[in-house]
Structure 1
Amino acid sequence: MQYDVIVIGGSYAGMAAALQLLRARRSVLVIDAGQRRNRFAAHSHGFLGQDGADPAEIAASARRQLQAYQTLNWIDGVADVASGQKDEFTVGLRDGAQYSGRRLLFATGVSDTLPAIDGLQQRWGVSVFLCPYCHGYELDRGRIAVIATGLMSLHQAQLLPEWGEVTLFTNGAVVPDEAVSADLGARGVTIEQTPIARIEDHADVVLSDGRRLPFAGIFTASRNAPATPVAQSLGCALSETPFGTQIQTDDAKQTSVPGAFACGDAARVPHSLSLAVADGAWAGASLHRSLVWPDA
């Protein structure tokens, strides 16, 4: 069987795209590896109508709604490779299965590479965060740490005083110039240059000189890349962003390979659940139009 569309990635963006296509009565195969980026978080915030909800339940509810459409097929599996061209794509799964489709949509999400600090990764999504709009309010104006990874961390440190008292740990990753230092000082941000030894307890920063500084939460700017290289296997170009790399797309969410589209965190910045859903919905509608007007 040849599907109208194969969606690689069944999280929020992929499902939002699939919904538009299913409602256009197109045959859709969703291949999902089951690795939502926010799987470590107990609550989702800032998503209208779902503020404070369990992100796993948001995803499960969306999947149940998609499964009400008869033209959906859903496979839990890992897509390793994509090949072919417009109207003749093939996707190969890790278990050896292969599927064909007229169009492809990459909604793979991204991986997060964090600073190599003992104890940081284990607290990702629990007391270590990226987005203040998603997690800042719940810190209740408490003390906030920002661990620098590059220039974007200076932006984080300038913004986060909206949510609490901020300390910027440069940790050898960035040196604020005089103007930025003055701006941070005017915002009440403390700059700490002593290297970090490890993170302990809820969000305690232990420095190399032995000092222990407790915080309500920690923010850091992770480096991102598409969660899997499946889009690259097809030849899709990547582009650089302040956060890492993403799949390059045009305004209609089509990649550098005609007939292959991409959406969500893997194909846009900045990142959030709300923005991923919106991006997916637009990608689904644009992809449908490419089926209706294939020569446009």
Structure 2
Amino acid sequence: MYDAIVIGAGPAGLQAALTLGRMHRSTLLLDSGEYRNGTVQHMHNVIANDGTPPAEFRATARAQLAEYADVEIRDVAVQRVAGIAGDFVVSLPGGASASARTVILATGIADDLPPVEGLDALWGRGAFSCPFCDGHEHAGRPIAVLGAAARAEHLIGMLGRFVGVITAVPVDEPYTDEEVASLEARGARVSRTPVDSVGRAGDDVVVRTADAEHEVAGIFVASASMRQRAPFAAQLGLGMLESGAIGIDEFGRTSVPGIFAAGDIAHRASLPGPMAAVMMAATAGQLAAVGVIQDLMASEA
């Protein structure tokens, strides 16, 4: 039986495994190979790794974890998590299983994009959601913001001071006259017709509507929604927040003893939502690992 099983090998899971390994706690890290930033070419706003490809970041982390004898890594997708504190069982493909005293969920979230033709193919490579992660690369260049007016205004407020011309484009229904006026007051150009499709235009991106084509350097999506990538929160009956994230305490403890959560799948109730950032995810992974060690020590006393 392992001291901990960490499910998910993005920044949160990798950091959790490293912290546990450094404390010589037997740890199994399970990697499904699915990552929220799997289509992203370069990470940004990550000190010492600004511009690093995510795959390179993960490979470096795994190479460093290989130096820790107490950390085992398997490339496998978990099917189910069950049990109680001190005796959890993780079901794996082919009838295999593994058991642990504690579990850290670090499976991440998935983005559900609006149903716009061509958007999936651009995601992470010409279409983005995070101004902290991808805004700087569009400094002085024209962009389009797709989606609901309220969220579009928020993005325009963040990006408008350093990007070029911003074109706001609705997705489903045209903006109301009031919304158009509010967006224009922010300095944006406003499309009166919803987006039909998006696609490549050389190194740039083209946003097509019924009456125009807008060629821009990139798209920021204001109407993407998020969901739990894995079913484990529901399987375990974890307490959830209005944001759709798992509720946790300062050290990643969930409502079920022995189950911890880290990364953008979880946040404290005092926050409005999860922070979708590599540094924040890694920090959450470290805190969850510390929480695991605290609980293990308490059970051993």
TM-score by length of 1: 0.92
Alignment of 1:280-295 (within 5 A): 280-294=285-299
Q: Confirm whether residue 279 of structure 1 aligns to residue 281 of structure 2.
A: no
Work out whether residues 205 and 214 of structure 1, in 8 Å CA contact, stay in contact via their aligned partners in 2.
yes
Distance (Å, rounded) in 2 between the aligned partners of 1:37 and 1:200: 21
Deviation at 1:174, TM superposition (A): 8.1
Deviation at 1:271, TM superposition (A): 0.5
Distance (Å, rounded) in 2 between the aligned partners of 1:109 and 1:200: 27
Task: Read off the aligned partner of 2:97 and give its amino acid letter.
Answer: Q
Distance (Å, rounded) in 2 between the aligned partners of 1:162 and 1:87: 52
Deviation at 1:67, TM superposition (A): 1.3
CA distance 1:150–1:263, shift in 2 (3 Å): farther
Deviations 1:130-149 (A, max 9, x none): 11111111123111111114
Deviations 1:31-61 (A, max 9, x none): 1101121121111111000111111111110
More moved, 105-114 vs 282-291: 282-291
Deviations 1:258-296 (A, max 9, x none): 110000011141201111111111111122111112499
1:219 equivalent in structure 2: 220
Task: Read off the aligned partner of 1:49 and give its amino acid letter.
Answer: A
Work out whether residues 80 and 91 of structure 2, in 8 Å CA contact, stay in contact via their aligned partners in 1.
yes
Task: Read off the aligned partner of 1:40 and give its amino acid letter.
Answer: T
Deviation at 1:86, TM superposition (A): 0.3
Q: Confirm whether residue 204 of structure 1 aligns to residue 206 of structure 2.
A: yes
2:58 equivalent in structure 1: 59
Distance (Å, rounded) in 2 between the aligned partners of 1:145 and 1:185: 14
CA distance 1:150–1:234, shift in 2 (3 Å): farther
Work out whether residues 158 and 184 of structure 1, in 8 Å CA contact, stay in contact via their aligned partners in 2.
no
Distance (Å, rounded) in 2 between the aligned partners of 1:226 and 1:20: 24
Distance (Å, rounded) in 2 between the aligned partners of 1:177 and 1:260: 49
Deviations 1:191-233 (A, max 9, x none): 2230111012241010023x11101000014211111112321
1:194 equivalent in structure 2: 193
More moved, 157-166 vs 256-265: 157-166
1:17 equivalent in structure 2: 16
1:50 equivalent in structure 2: 49
Deviation at 1:186, TM superposition (A): 3.7
3-state SS of 2:252 partner: coil
Distance (Å, rounded) in 2 between the aligned partners of 1:96 and 1:272: 35
3-state SS of 1:240 partner: coil
1:239 equivalent in structure 2: 241
The two structures, once aligned, show a CA RMSD in angstroms of: 2.0
Work out whether residues 102 and 259 of structure 2, in 8 Å CA contact, stay in contact via their aligned partners in 1.
yes
CA distance 1:259–1:118, shift in 2 (3 Å): same
More moved, 121-130 vs 154-163: 154-163
3-state SS of 1:199 partner: strand
Unaligned runs of 5+ in 1: none
3-state SS of 2:17 partner: helix
Work out whether residues 168 and 183 of structure 2, in 8 Å CA contact, stay in contact via their aligned partners in 1.
no
3-state SS of 2:295 partner: helix
Give the total of aligned pairs: 290
3-state SS of 2:160 partner: helix
Task: Read off the aligned partner of 1:45 and give its amino acid letter.
Answer: H
3-state SS of 1:103 partner: strand
Deviation at 1:151, TM superposition (A): 3.8
Task: Read off the aligned partner of 2:277 and give its amino acid letter.
Answer: S
2:270 equivalent in structure 1: none
2:110 equivalent in structure 1: 111
Deviations 1:141-200 (A, max 9, x none): 11111111474333123222133121111233685784x765543431122230111012
Q: Confirm whether residue 171 of structure 1 aligns to residue 174 of structure 2.
A: no
Task: Read off the aligned partner of 1:14 and give its amino acid letter.
Answer: G
2:83 equivalent in structure 1: 84
Work out whether residues 254 and 261 of structure 1, in 8 Å CA contact, stay in contact via their aligned partners in 2.
yes
Deviation at 1:252, TM superposition (A): 2.0
CA distance 1:88–1:166, shift in 2 (3 Å): same
1:257 equivalent in structure 2: 256
Deviation at 1:96, TM superposition (A): 1.9
3-state SS of 1:239 partner: coil
Work out whether residues 174 and 192 of structure 2, in 8 Å CA contact, stay in contact via their aligned partners in 1.
no
Distance (Å, rounded) in 2 between the aligned partners of 1:64 and 1:203: 37
Q: Confirm whether residue 230 of structure 1 aligns to residue 232 of structure 2.
A: yes
TM-score by length of 2: 0.90
